[in-house]
Structure 1
Amino acid sequence: MTDADSARPGVPLYAYYVVLCLMLASAFSFLDRLVLSLLIDPIRADMGLTDSQVSLLAGPAFALCYVACAFPFGRWVDTRSRRSAIVLGISLWSLATAACGLVRGYWALFTARMGVGVGEASLNPAAYSMIPDYFPPHRRGLATAIFACGASIGGGVAILAGGIVVQRAMETRPTLPGLDSIAPWQFVFVAVGLPGLLVALLFWLTVREPARRFTPLETGEAPKMCEVFGFVGANRAAIVPMFLGFGAFAVSGYAFQLWGPAYFMRLHGLTAGEVGMVFGLGYGLGGTAAILLGGVLSDALVKRGRSDAPILVSIGAAMLQAPCFVTAYLMGDTTLAILFFVGGIFAASLVGGLQATIVQSLAPNRMRGLLAALFGATVNVAGLGIAPTLTALLSDNVFGGPMGIGKALAVTTALAMAASFTLLVTGRKSARALAAQLAGQPISSPPSMTSSVPVT
């Protein structure tokens, strides 16, 4: 923490308003990203697809464009207006989601999903950069947790409201102006996509671009791209295990978000509306409470001198969620499966806001956009590029087809959590040392890999 941070009497209410707006944007991004998980079986039936083909829509179609556009948006965030990047991104992904309901054919739907990835690539780099400029270090855990609540609220609403809309659409078969025939799943995409344009308008009219607050090692000028990647390479002992560790978290997270509804509908006979209740209450309420709890725990530990608090809480979350999810996926009793599943969601959600805190602590201000883009690329390649397809391939080719989805989810989760635990434990000391050096604090063992890298 700098002297300016220490002298600051408190955090203005407007800063919390901004982070709430960021949370709302995040909620709509996850709503648009995950509503497909409730529509898997209707899309499969209409288009005659396999689980593996649907997984390409859920994962690679989104993830490839997200990764490709994350770095241009990250550079934009480090050098230009972050508010403008968010407004553009929200508008793009909202229109692309609505387009998913208007296109005809598999590859047209694939292309529309790519558009969702392009727009959503803007949000995390901009939010990760803006929040530290509104909040001092000892308040960032809660602030980033509030932002991360958008994922749980958006994910919960996607399944809860989506389940209701899907069931209602199946019963009434609504139409859209100018279109004589539209499938219920197509109507859902349009219904959840267009309201995002109102969020973009709200952000444009009410959110101000904050002044940048630089770390003690910075001059305030944006570094060149080669310097950013040089910084990452020199600090790879800290950055690589953290990014890959949270990437493994994303594999488990997107596996349950995208295939969890299909698992409960196929093996436990739940309707779309009943699955919506499970996810809406478990993910929307329990997950949101867990994200806030994780942020509060992290801030409390930071105040006690544990600068590696976000990593410690994340390690504990990995140890808790693995047995909960694996038990849920292999449980024959529906009630117990739901209880263990909700417990897994709670444990997984503890890290929701902590990943942003870690990225912020490992990057100077003018590098946060690109570092957040690199982090987002890592997490989305793992979570959306690997998790949906790996789970589907295991189900289709190892566990006998659609009814083997539970065993496939159990294997995916066990592998992911073992990898996450190992990586976070391996990188914890190096990450703690780098964060301390960037903050201008004394460190117990100097991270020699940073000393030769200028931060301009």
Structure 2
Amino acid sequence: MKNTLYPSRVRAWFTVSVLMLAYVLSFVDRQILNLLVGPIRQDMDISDTQMSLLMGLSFAIFYTFCGIPLGRIADSKSRRNLLMCGILVWSGMTAACGMAKGYWQFLFCRIGVAAGEASLAPCAYSMISDSFTPERRGTAFSVYSTAIYLGSGVALLLGGVAVHFATSQGDMTLPLIGIVRPWQMVFLILGAIGVVFSLCLLLLREPVRQGVGAGLQLPFSEFVDYLRKNRRTMLCHNLGFACLTFTAYGSSAWIPTFFVRSFDMSVPQVGVIYGSMLAICGSLGLLVGGRLCDWLVKRGHRDAPLRIAILAAVLTLPSNLGYLVDDKNLALVLMAFHVFTVSMPFGVGPLAVQEVVPSPMRGQASALYQFAVTLIGLGIGPTAVALGTDYVFGSDSALGYSLAVVTGISLVLAVVILTVGLRSYRESLERLKSWAPKDPTVVVPGRQVPAADA
């Protein structure tokens, strides 16, 4: 029987558009710090190590650990309202960064940004799943995920404009705040934009929860029990996609420096060329991956997300030759292909999680997925490449070799792990059809509970 609870196509794509803009905004707030290293270090008299904690580790740790409880809230409460609160928190804390008087205040504010942004993935993934039928979700998730690459480009473009504007104004005096430096004004402006944007979420309608178990509110023990019974599926999926994320973050962090060191390109030149690659090739790769996934699902391949990820890893491996060639133009072509192929699975990765868990667990499962890919990909990927350059090859000029070896190993691991997980993923999909909770505590009144997606 066809499920008629999905919203109209216009309403569904409007939801994706608003969520994608929220994702772009989160990337800008997250990465703007990278453009302001010099003035912040000078005004606060801090070291590179202290600065790196503001930029990376403090954000990654609290982003991942806050995601789990927020995912649980998203599974039982209004996702729209939770996300609106999250945007207000991360935007408010972004503005607070502009009013910080010392390093520890700034660190606390960055933790607040991370905690607020942790609400986005569980809410967005769950809402998109409940807005589209299974054969259309691959494209929807990929369109939403283009914010990864568009957001990186927007962060550089708009961030640069904001920095230029604030710097041209010099120190300013604001009511109630007092004198603010140009870099502080950037954070205040971005925070204000986020607060205004949060009102856009009032235009969204909370989609009706779909899928197995929709309408149930479950104790956390049910989620733990489900993970235990499907541990091989979840482990292979999360580790496999974490390896792909490791490749993407590890390479994107060092590719600009690679072109500067290997081909004597200027930083602005690399910024324009590589930034364009990310925005264009990355977004196209995501969309192609999503469309291929939907094409396979329509032909009965419910394990399509994992197949797309394996294909992407295999196609990305040859582009590692770009780190070893002596011709700049050939290297640029290979890097464009690399960005295209490595981006293909990042829309269908979270989709695979949504497909294999009951509806009341989607937010928590999404948070667990984000935990794995953020800690391994963002937390370890860039550092692993640097360690290879410094301690394995022992020379700055060997960055290309380090990139080729480290990302090559992670791509091979991704292929092996995801291939091992294909069978268990299909088994979990079949097992889900007959799943029933041990102890459902609350059934939402007046709510039709579909047995499964149609």
When normalised by structure 2's length, the TM-score is 0.85
**2:451 counterpart residue number:** none
Native 8 Å contact 1:58 1:388 kept in 2: no
Unaligned runs of 5+ in 1: 441-450
Q: Taking structure 1 as reference, are residues 341 and 180 closer, same or farther at Cα in structure 2, changes over 3 Å only?
A: farther
- Asked whether the 8 Å contact 2:7–2:131 carries over to 1, the reply is no
Match of 1:417 among 400, 411, 428: 411
When the two chains are superposed, the root-mean-square deviation of aligned CA atoms in Å is 3.1
Residues in 1 aligned to 2:261 and 2:101: alpha-carbon distance in whole angstroms: 27
How far 1:164 moved relative to its partner? 5.4
Shift, 1:251, TM fit: 1.3
2:51 and 2:228 map into 1 onto residues whose CA distance is 36
SS across alignment from 1:74: helix
Q: For residue 233 of structure 1, what is the amino acid of its counterpart?
A: R
Structure 1 match to 2:199: 201
Distance 1:260 1:182, change over 3 A: farther
SS of the residue 2:284 aligns to: helix
349 and 176 in structure 1: CA distance in 2 versus 1, 3 angstrom threshold = farther
Distance 2:277 2:135 in 1: 29
Query: Is 1:228 aligned to residue 223 of structure 2?
Result: yes
Aligned to 1:24: 21
- C-alpha separation between the residues in 2 aligned to 1:342 and 1:105? 41
Q: Is the 8 A contact 1:294 1:313 kept in 2?
A: yes
Q: Deviations over 1:361-413 (max 9, x none)?
A: 11110010111111111111112221233334444545557666544444432
- Asked if 2 retains the 8 angstrom alpha-carbon contact of 1:38 and 1:262, the reply is no
Asked whether the equivalents of residues 214 and 359 of structure 2 are also in contact (C-alpha less than 8 Å), the reply is no
Of 418, 428, 436, the residue aligned with 1:434 is: 428
Q: Is the 8 A contact 1:31 1:157 kept in 2?
A: yes
1:40-65 residue CA offsets vs partner (Å, 9 max, x unmatched): 67767885745x66544333211110
The partner residue of 2:338 within 336, 340, 344 is 344
SS of the residue 1:94 aligns to: helix
Shift of 1:309: 1.1
Q: Counterpart of 1:343 in 2: which secondary structure? A: helix
1:118 to 1:192, Cα distance in 2 relative to 1, 3 A: same
Aligned residues: percent identity? 36
Q: Which moved more, 1:340-349 or 1:91-100?
A: 91-100
Matches within 5 A, 1:1-400: 3-5=1-3, 11-39=8-36, 49-50=47-48, 54-103=51-100, 106-163=103-160, 168=164, 172=168, 174-178=170-174, 182=181, 188-203=186-201, 205-215=202-212, 218=213, 220-265=215-260, 268-271=263-266, 273-324=268-319, 326-400=320-394
Task: Check 1:170–1:80 CA distance in 2 against 1; reply closer, same or farther (3 A cut).
Answer: closer
SS at match of 1:350: helix
AA matched with 1:363: V
Offset of residue 255 of structure 1:
2.1
8 Å contact kept, 2:138–2:293: yes
- Corresponding residue of 2:449: none
376-385 or 430-439: bigger deviation: 430-439
Distance of aligned partners of 1:11 and 1:304 in 2 relative to their CA distance in 1, 3 Å threshold: farther
| 3-state SS in 1 of match to 2:217 | coil
Instruction: Return closer, same or farther for 1:31/1:261 CA change in 2, 3 Å cut-off.
Output: farther
Check conservation: 1:161, 1:276, Cα contact below 8 A: no
Q: One-letter code of the match for 2:115? A: V
Distance 2:99 2:383 in 1: 25
CA separation in 1, counterparts of 2:30 and 2:171?
23
- How far apart are 1:177 and its partner, in Å? 3.8
Contact 2:74 2:122 in 1 (8 A): yes
Q: How far did 1:419 drift?
A: 2.0
> Matches of 2:304 and 2:165 in 1, distance apart?
46
1:122-155 superposed Cα distances (whole Å, 9 cap, x missing partner): 0111111111211111111111111111212112
CA contact (8 A) 1:159 1:275 kept: no
The DSSP-based 3-state class of the residue aligned with 1:214 is coil
- Measured in 1, the distance between the counterparts of 2:41 and 2:331 equals 25
**Cα-to-partner distance string for 1:332-354 (whole Å, 9 max, x where unaligned):** 54433333222211111111210
Using the alignment, how far apart are the partners of 1:265 and 1:148 within structure 2?
Answer: 29
Q: Distance in 2 between matches of 1:35 and 1:407?
A: 30
* 1:172 Cα offset (Å): 4.2
Instruction: Report the CA distance between 1:102 and its aligned residue.
Output: 4.4
Post-superposition Cα deviations, 1:82-137, rounded to whole Å, max 9, x if no partner, equal 00111111122223334445445555444333222111110111111111211111
The C-alpha deviation readout for 1:291-333, integer Å capped at 9, x for no partner, is 1111111101111111111111111111122332x33444554
Change in 2 beyond 3 A, CA 1:260/1:96:
farther
- TM-score, structure 1 length as denominator? 0.84
Q: 1:165 & 1:334 partners in 2: Cα distance?
A: 32
Of 157-166 and 420-429, the range deviating more from structure 2: 157-166
Counterpart Cα distance in 1 of 2:438 and 2:421: 22
Change beyond 3 A, Cα 1:196–1:341: farther
User: How much does 1:175 deviate?
Assistant: 3.8
CA distance 1:35–1:128, shift in 2 (3 Å): same
Q: 1:437 to 1:59 in 2, by over 3 A?
A: same
